[in-house]
């Protein structure tokens, strides 16, 4: 399989500073997100917390099983 060479282009800070979104940041309207967007962001945040807790439980369970395994070997 052939190796593909990727050319990486370095970008300076001035490139981003000159971008129209940055230049017009102070002119952007302060528009409320709305109830639907707010509820979806809240749901997304809660799901991420749930995933992190589930991962912690899974890892803790794995370590507990491994410690039991090593204790039984001794």
Residue 73 has pLDDT above 80, yes or no: no
Within-domain flag for 43 = no
pLDDT in tens, 14-47: 888 888 888 888 887 788 889 999 999 999 999 9
Structural domain harbouring 71: 49-74
Within-domain flag for 65 = yes
> pTM for this one?
0.45
Within-domain flag for 58 = yes
- Residue 24 neighbours by CB distance under 10 Å: 9
Within-domain flag for 29 = no
Q: How many domains does the chain have?
A: 1
Within-domain flag for 72 = yes
Within-domain flag for 70 = yes
Residue 49 has pLDDT above 90, yes or no: yes
Contacts of 16 (CB under 8 A, 6+ apart): 22
């Amino acid at each position: 399989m052939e190796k593909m060479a990727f050319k990486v282009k370095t970008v300076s800070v001035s490139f981003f500073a000159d971008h129209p979104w940055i230049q017009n940041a102070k002119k952007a309207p302060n528009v409320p997100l709305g109830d639907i967007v707010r509820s979806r962001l809240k749901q997304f945040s809660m799901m991420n917390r749930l995933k992190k807790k589930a991962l912690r439980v899974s890892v803790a369970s794995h370590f507990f099983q491994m410690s039991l395994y090593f204790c039984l070997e001794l």
